[in-house]
């Protein structure tokens, strides 16, 4: 605000000194048909690829939207091919623990079993941190190679790649937008403990199958997901009355650092996943909900490799289940009576206690309002119109939380197509990167080279620490450091300096194209020509006939206009 | 305060109509008027350093006066001070000693510019690195839903009419939790990266972007873009590539040494820095921790030598600077079966600066006898870390609204760390 005040002062001075008018592109009272298509491609997807606008025009906008609302019927062979070699996506959590062990845990296990290779044992230098011991690191790498193992960093690299590749190539664009939306709504941080081994399953088994289904099913899936149970500590929430020894044996050592009830999940479940902070619950409700979820835990939450010798022996006596899967531990459950939001949950309910809570929350009017608000903010405007929120919440309630029906209420509303919402939302870094790759028709492998840029711009995937997830409003994203990186990203992409991503700009304008045409063609491809006269004039001034098209494209990707959708 | 920042937005607007800063006299007068009305006094600076992974505070600041320290640590204890032997604890006050690898801290202790707070940390008993770092950076132990960091809340609590883009800077790859929040802050691994990077075409591209962002007067994105370039240009004037430390300071050539060197550089280039943050990892010494030599010794040597170099480099500027170190929790008093230590509870912090009442170990010492240990294994806590952070925020930085910085907490025992 301080800044805006200063700007106002100097704008005044400027208008005295010069009569040069700043033209902002005119807001028409109604969007043109082409603008409506561009808007839908931007908001229901990650922006247009070359030819997309024409394709939707030929098909009809309404038909396109309805198609996007039924992703299971859209053929997605290209995207599937692109992610085919990412083996992490197909592996169970137990397999991930086996194949991508943490080096320190692996060494400790080998040591405990007396199986540590001699060369590795010999190079362990007590004087040195293993990180600073190149010889040791080399031997570890060799050991991994010989035994078909890979370092755990690889897991997140492949998961990141899958998200980028699907966003860029999938024909099911709305589905990918919803995967991004729900992943952020039910945020899990990859840097917390075992979560990086648990996240591929979270994406595959929890979020994706439910992204366009019923909210209640999605909510239950997240509640039972090892990733969320670990992230919000519920896996170690134990009734204080549970008989200590037995509950522990069942939980196993790894899940036992703190005894007693952990309220973390219960609180965030209501504050962030369903009712919203002012949704009408009390601290007492938080405690009661936490009691309902005691015993919702994970079998071997850190995988077998993390067990020490004593626990390995103990685990052998337990029923055989895959490591890193959900299970309900009745011995850790508080089976007394609870009262949640005024509803009595009788004693002896066991596993059903948690299910009842989820059902109550999924159908609570505050949840309808809270989810509607977040969706309208995401798809329409940073300042969601209250009338639209009410209609969307009503659609949510009427359809028993059907996500498609709820989205329809947005996509066929007048507010959605209002000129005020057109090119108004500031893209988040993931959206910016993917939309730039798409609009240029660039080819990417989604590798670390691309993800690093998304991270530098401020949105590493699965990299947000706290459970509220990334913000969905402009002021959180428009800051000096982040904006500079956005410009640098545009420059790097246009200059073909992002490893794993290639762009062929000759498609936009051939060699020896006259400068004015080169700029106009590029503006047309990237922004449908919708820039202010001032921006176009500035580009004409800044670009020399001898400049490469990479400069023109880099500048356009870095314009204020391209930061919005 | 540098004049550039009074012209934050104006200078760019002028450039866009082809005038230079020095040209119009009426604007000069505007600037001078603002300068005169600005709040006087020099800017105070805080440099916060996080030792990630939980440093073993009992081998960093050694309670050599405790016999149980030696009983419980048969292979990793630091030997009692012996003036003739450089591999023994450095005697501070007859009871505590510094690890011998930290000898570069001794002169600062002697000149009373280095204070230590022992048995200090988070009242939450979490022994998870993630949770405990989170609590120390959010400044709300036990509360996970806090979305911003304590340093950011400090910035929010005190609006700064001269605020620059560089008011809060983390020399880290990603924004640390402590600086997350509504108040603008920047995270960068390297100062040289804070610019347009297009190889030989960098200057050319920057000119292009600057011209583009000079348009659209009312647009939030464009306005922020102009701020960004102003910051880029002022940083460029300080010529980061040519930086030469002063007073004979030599920074270790490690990532941490380099981070501190860049912080010194930012301070000297007078771009409006108030809060700097950086971190150093590798402290999670579960195995082969070492004693007077070894893994921990190497790291402590690098840690203390880097901070001492920063102190030396900043010279007289340390009148206005306080350096504060922290780590998420301490380590077990008893050494484990792998000649290392496991996750514990209370720890030690350093506070350095010319305005610090140094030469003293603050905090009540709870003792290390078996029945004095927290949960039978760890150093007990007698000072809440918020007492230290809060005191520095008020006495040094001049925070007035501590309730918003540490919600729900009342400073209990000010140590009077700052003169």
CB spacing of B205 vs A555 below 8 angstroms:
yes
Neighbours of A453 (CB within 10 A): 21
For A199-246, the pLDDT digits (tens) are 999 999 999 999 999 999 999 999 999 999 999 989 989 998 775 554
Collect all residues with Cβ–Cβ distance below 8 Å to B29 and sequence separation of at least 6: none
The predicted structure's pLDDT at residue B175: 86
**Model pTM score:** 0.84
In B, minimum Cα distance to A426 occurs at: B221
Give the chain A residue nearest B146 (alpha carbons).
A466
- pLDDT score recorded for residue A313: 66
Portion 185-224 of B in contact with A at CB < 8 A: 186-188, 194-199, 201, 204-205, 207-209, 211-224
Inter-chain touch A10–B9, beta carbons under 8 Å:
yes
Closest residue in A to B7 (Cα) is A6
B256 touches chain A (CB under 8 A): no
User: What pLDDT shows up at residue B26?
Assistant: 37
Q: How far is CA A438 from the centre of its chain?
A: 19
Pure H helices in A44-102? 52-59, 61-68, 77-82, 93-99
B197 CA to chain A: closest CA distance, Å? Answer: 6
Write down the pLDDT at residue A185: 98
Q: Are B282 and A131 inside 8 Å of each other by CB?
A: yes
Among partner residues B125, B208, B225, which is closest to A555 by beta-carbon distance?
A: B208
What pLDDT, on a 0 to 100 scale, did the predictor assign at position A4?
A: 43
Per-residue pLDDT of B306-329, as tens digits, reads 999 999 999 999 999 999 999 999
Closest CB to B295 among A4, A127, A426: A127
Determine the pLDDT at residue A244. 52
Which of A234, A481, A515, A554 to probe the B interface (max B CBs under 10 A)? Answer: A481
- How far apart CA B371 and CA A10 sit, in angstroms, is 69
Are B130 and A559 inside 8 Å of each other by CB?
A: no
pLDDT at B16 over 60: no
* Residue predicted with more confidence, A261 or A196: A196
Choose between A87 and A255: higher pLDDT: A87
For an interface test with B, the pick among A383, A480, A522, A533 (most B C-beta atoms closer than 10 Å) comes out as A480
Which residues in B lie closer than 8 A to residue A551 (C-beta atoms)?
201, 204-205, 208
Contact list in A for residue B288 (CB cut-off 8 A) is 124, 126-127
Are the C-beta atoms of B60 and B99 separated by less than 8 Å? yes
Is the pLDDT confidence value at A123 over 60?
yes
pLDDT of residue B255: 92
Model confidence at B11, pLDDT cuts 50, 70, 90, reads very low
What ipTM does this complex have? 0.87
Nearest to A555 among B194, B209, B282 (CB): B209
- Helix and strand totals (H; E) in chain B: 13, 12
Determine contact: B298 vs chain A, CB below 8 A.
Answer: yes
Cβ partners under 8 Å of residue B239, min gap 6: none
Q: State pLDDT tens for residues A20-60.
A: 333 344 455 799 999 999 999 999 999 999 999 999 999 99
With an 8 Å Cβ cutoff, are B211 and A541 in contact? yes
Residue B411 phi/psi, 5-degree rounding, is -55, 125
b/e code B330-356 from CB counts within 10 Å (16+ = b): bbbbbbeeebbbbbbbbbbbbbbbbbb
Question: Do A410 and A379 contact (CB within 8 A), yes or no?
Answer: yes
Is it the case that residue A9 has pLDDT exceeding 70? Answer: no
Contact A128 B298 (CB under 8 A): yes
Token pair in block for residue A356: 């009842």
Query: How close does chain A come to B196, measured CA to CA in Å?
Result: 6
Q: Identify the CA nearest to A328 among candidates A243, A264, A234.
A: A234
Residue among B196, B197, B212 whose CB faces A535 most closely: B212
In this complex, which of B130, B232, B282 lies closest to A193 when CB atoms are compared? B130
CA of B237 vs chain A CAs: smallest distance (Å): 18
Compute the nearest-CA separation of A535 from chain B (Å). Answer: 6
Tell me which residues of chain B, numbers 7 to 26, contact chain A at a CB-CB cutoff of 8 Å: 8-10, 13-14, 17
- Spell A229-264 as b/e; 16+ CB within 10 A means b: bbbbbbbbbbbeebeeeebbbbbbbbbeebbebbbb
User: For residues A462 and A549, is the Cβ–Cβ distance under 8 A?
Assistant: no
């Amino acid at each position: 605000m301080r800044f805006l005040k200063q700007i106002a002062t100097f704008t005044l001075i400027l208008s005295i000194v010069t009569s040069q008018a700043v033209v902002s592109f005119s807001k028409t009272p109604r969007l043109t048909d082409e603008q409506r298509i561009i808007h839908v491609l931007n908001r229901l997807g990650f922006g247009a690829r070359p030819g997309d606008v024409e394709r939707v025009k030929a098909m009809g906008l309404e038909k396109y939207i309805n198609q996007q609302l039924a992703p299971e019927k859209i053929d997605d062979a290209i995207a599937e091919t692109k992610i085919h070699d990412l083996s992490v996506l197909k592996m169970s959590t137990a397999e991930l623990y086996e194949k991508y062990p943490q080096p320190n845990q692996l060494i400790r296990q080998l040591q405990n079993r007396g199986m540590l290779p001699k060369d590795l044992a010999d190079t362990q230098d007590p004087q040195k941190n293993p990180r600073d011991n190149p010889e040791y690191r080399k031997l570890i790498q060799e050991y991994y190679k010989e035994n078909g193992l890979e370092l755990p960093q690889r897991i997140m690299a492949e998961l990141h790649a899958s998200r980028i590749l699907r966003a860029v190539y999938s024909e099911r664009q709305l589905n990918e937008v919803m995967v991004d939306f729900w992943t952020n709504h039910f945020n899990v941080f990859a840097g917390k403990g075992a979560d990086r081994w648990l996240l591929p399953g979270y994406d595959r088994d929890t979020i994706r199958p439910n992204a366009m289904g019923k909210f209640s099913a999605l909510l239950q899936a997240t509640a039972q997901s090892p990733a969320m149970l670990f992230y919000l500590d519920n896996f170690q929430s134990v009734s204080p009355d549970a008989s200590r020894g037995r509950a522990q044996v069942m939980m196993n050592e790894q899940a036992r650092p703190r005894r007693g009830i952990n309220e973390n999940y219960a609180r965030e479940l209501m504050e962030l996943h369903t009712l919203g902070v002012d949704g009408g619950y009390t601290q007492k409700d938080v405690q009661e909900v936490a009691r309902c979820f005691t015993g919702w835990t994970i079998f071997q939450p850190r995988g077998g490799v993390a067990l020490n010798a004593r626990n390995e022996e103990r685990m052998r006596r337990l029923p055989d289940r895959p490591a890193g899967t959900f299970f309900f531990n009745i011995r850790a459950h508080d089976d007394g009576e609870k009262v949640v939001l005024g509803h009595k949950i009788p004693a002896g309910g066991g596993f059903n206690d948690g299910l009842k809570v989820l059902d109550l929350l999924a159908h609570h009017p505050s949840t309808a309002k809270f989810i509607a608000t977040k969706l309208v903010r995401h798809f329409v405007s940073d300042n969601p119109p209250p009338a639209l929120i009410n209609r969307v919440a009503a659609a949510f309630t009427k359809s028993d939380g059907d996500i498609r029906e709820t989205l329809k209420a947005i996509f066929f509303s007048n507010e959605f197509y209002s000129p005020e919402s057109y090119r108004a939302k500031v893209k988040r870094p993931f959206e910016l990167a993917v939309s730039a790759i798409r609009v240029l028709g660039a080819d990417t492998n989604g590798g670390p080279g691309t993800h690093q840029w998304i991270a530098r711009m401020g949105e590493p995937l699965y990299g947000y620490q706290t459970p509220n997830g990334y913000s969905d409003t402009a002021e959180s994203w428009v800051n000096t450091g982040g904006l500079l990186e956005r410009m640098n990203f545009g420059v790097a992409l246009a200059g073909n300096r992002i490893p794993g991503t290639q762009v062929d700009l000759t498609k936009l304008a051939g060699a020896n194209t006259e400068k004015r045409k080169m700029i106009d063609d590029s503006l047309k491809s990237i922004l449908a020509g919708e820039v202010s006269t001032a921006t176009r004039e500035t580009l004409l001034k800044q670009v020399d006939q001898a400049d490469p098209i990479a400069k023109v494209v880099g500048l356009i990707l870095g314009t204020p206009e391209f930061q919005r959708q | 305060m540098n004049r550039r920042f009074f012209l934050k937005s104006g200078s760019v607007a002028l450039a866009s109509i082809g005038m230079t800063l020095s040209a119009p006299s009426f604007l000069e007068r505007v600037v001078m008027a603002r300068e005169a009305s600005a709040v006087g006094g020099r800017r105070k600076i805080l440099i916060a350093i996080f030792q990630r992974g939980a440093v073993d505070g009992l081998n960093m600041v050694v309670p050599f006066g405790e016999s149980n320290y030696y009983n419980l640590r048969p292979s990793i204890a630091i030997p009692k001070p012996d003036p003739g032997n450089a591999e023994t604890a450095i005697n501070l006050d007859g009871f505590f000693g510094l690890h011998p690898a930290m000898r570069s801290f001794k002169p600062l202790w002697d000149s009373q510019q280095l204070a230590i707070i022992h048995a200090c940390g988070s009242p939450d008993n979490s022994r998870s690195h993630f949770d405990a770092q989170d609590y120390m950076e959010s400044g709300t132990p036990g509360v996970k839903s806090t979305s911003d960091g304590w340093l950011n809340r400090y910035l929010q609590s005190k609006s700064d009419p001269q605020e620059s883009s560089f008011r809060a800077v983390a020399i880290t790859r990603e924004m640390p939790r402590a600086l997350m929040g509504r108040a603008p802050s920047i995270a960068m691994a390297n100062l040289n990266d804070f610019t347009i990077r297009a190889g030989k075409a960098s200057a050319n591209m920057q000119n292009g972007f600057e011209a583009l962002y000079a348009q659209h007067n009312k647009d939030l994105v464009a306005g922020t873009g102009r701020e960004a370039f102003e910051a880029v240009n002022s940083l460029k004037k300080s010529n980061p590539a040519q930086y030469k430390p002063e007073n004979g300071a030599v920074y270790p050539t490690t990532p941490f040494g380099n981070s501190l060197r860049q912080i010194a550089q930012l301070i000297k280039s007078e771009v409006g820095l108030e809060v700097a943050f950086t971190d150093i990892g590798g402290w999670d010494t579960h195995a082969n921790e070492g004693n007077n030599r070894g893994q921990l010794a190497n790291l402590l040597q690098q840690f203390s030598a880097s901070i001492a170099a920063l102190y030396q480099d900043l010279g007289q500027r340390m009148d206005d600077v306080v350096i504060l170190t922290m780590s998420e929790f301490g380590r077990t008093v008893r050494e484990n079966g792998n000649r290392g230590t496991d996750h514990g509870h209370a720890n030690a912090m350093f506070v350095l600066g010319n305005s610090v009442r140094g030469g003293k170990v603050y905090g009540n010492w709870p003792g290390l006898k078996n029945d004095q240990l927290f949960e039978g294994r760890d150093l007990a806590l007698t000072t809440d870390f918020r007492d230290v952070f809060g005191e520095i925020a008020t006495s040094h930085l001049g925070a007035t609204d501590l309730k918003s910085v540490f919600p729900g907490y009342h400073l209990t025992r000010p140590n009077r760390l700052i003169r």
